[in-house]
Structures are given as structure tokens and as C-alpha cells.
Amino acid sequence: MGPLAAAALGALWLAGCATDVGPSPAELKARWEAQNVFPDGYRRDLLAYMHIYLNDPTQVRGAAVSVPVKKQVGPGERYVACVRFNARNVDGRYTGSKEGAAVYVSGKLDRFLEATKELNESGAAIARQLCKDAAYAPFPELEKLTR
């Protein structure tokens, strides 16, 4: 096979690859929805995350959490649990009540959006919107964290 024929064959092969446009919108939606699994261990996942996230995870006050419910996040729905807490900073002072939204994918904590003014406003606004109607219940396990 000559160099010209090899180049033509290679061009045809590449052209065949260029027509692959990826998954259809229906396939993408099906994949997204398949990851909506209720997070049975949501409290445990939140405790593990907060233990690392908080500057001082001890003596948290006013801890409350909502049961995860499906909320619109991105192109579809995700399970979201809302958390409210008052933790101490590195100086040992309480910083005031904070709220955050824990987003779950495939039954596991995927990301945490804190609703504070110090953070990116769009992320804080999303967290506030996700948690505006949350039905909170006491979260004593968060108040009992140790170092």
C-alpha cells in the first residue's frame, strides 16, 4: 500500500470518528437519574465531612439537619440535605449560625455548599435557595464531635 493510499485510509478512519457526537440528551438524563439513590448514610457522611471541614469540630451548638429530598441541582434533581450549625473558629469563638446544603450523588456526599456571604455569592445563593423550605430536626451527633 502506497503512502497516498495509507493517508486516504487514515483520513476515512478519522472521518468516521468525527461523526460520533456522544450520548443523546435522553441518555444523559437517564445517566443523571440513575445516580439519584437515597443516601441512607447521609448523617454519617455529614459527620465525617464536618469533622474535617470545621476549624474546631468540638462543642458545636444548635446543630440541625433535614432529611434529604430531591431538589433541582444542575440539569436535574439530586438528593439534598440541609444543615444548620454554630461552630467555633480557630480562636475558640462562636461565629454564629451557618447553613449549608449537602448534595448527594449515587447515595454519597458529593459536595457541600455553605450559605455565607464570605464565599462565592452564587454558591451561597444556591445553598440558601436549596434550604429555604428545609424541615430541620436536631442533629445531636454533630454537637458531640471530638477532635
- Do 108 and 135 lie in one domain? The reply is yes
* Statement to judge: residues 78 and 21 lie in one domain: no
Same domain, 7 and 40: no
Task: Give 34-54 as a DSSP string.
Answer: HT----TTHHHHHHHHHHHHS
Residue-wise pLDDT for 57-91, tens only, equals 999 999 999 999 999 988 889 999 999 999 999 89
- pLDDT band for position 19 (50/70/90)? low
Residue ranges making up the domain that contains 18: 3-33
Which of the residue ranges 6-10, 83-87, 116-120 has the most confident prediction, judged by mean pLDDT? 83-87
Q: Please answer whether residues 76 and 30 qualify as being in contact, where contact means their C-beta atoms are separated by less than 8 angstroms.
A: no
DSSP conformation class of 93: -
Clarify whether residues 71 and 93 are in a common domain. Answer: yes
**How many Å apart are CA 146 and CA 135, to the nearest integer?**
26
Which residues lie below 8 Å from residue 118, measured CB to CB, with a gap of 6+?
none
Tell me how far apart the alpha carbons of residues 115 and 128 are, in angstroms, rounded to a whole number.
6
User: Where does the pLDDT of residue 126 fall: very low under 50, low under 70, confident under 90, or very high at 90 and above?
Assistant: confident
Same domain, 91 and 29: no
Number of domains forming the structure of the chain: 2
- What pLDDT score was predicted for residue 12? 56
**Spatial distance between the Cα atoms of 81 and 85, rounded to a whole number of angstroms:** 13
> Alpha carbon of 134 to those of 68, 79, 86, 100, 120: distances in Å?
9, 12, 17, 11, 22
Query: Do 67 and 118 belong to one domain?
Result: yes
Per-residue pLDDT reduced to its tens digit, 105-114:
999 999 999 8
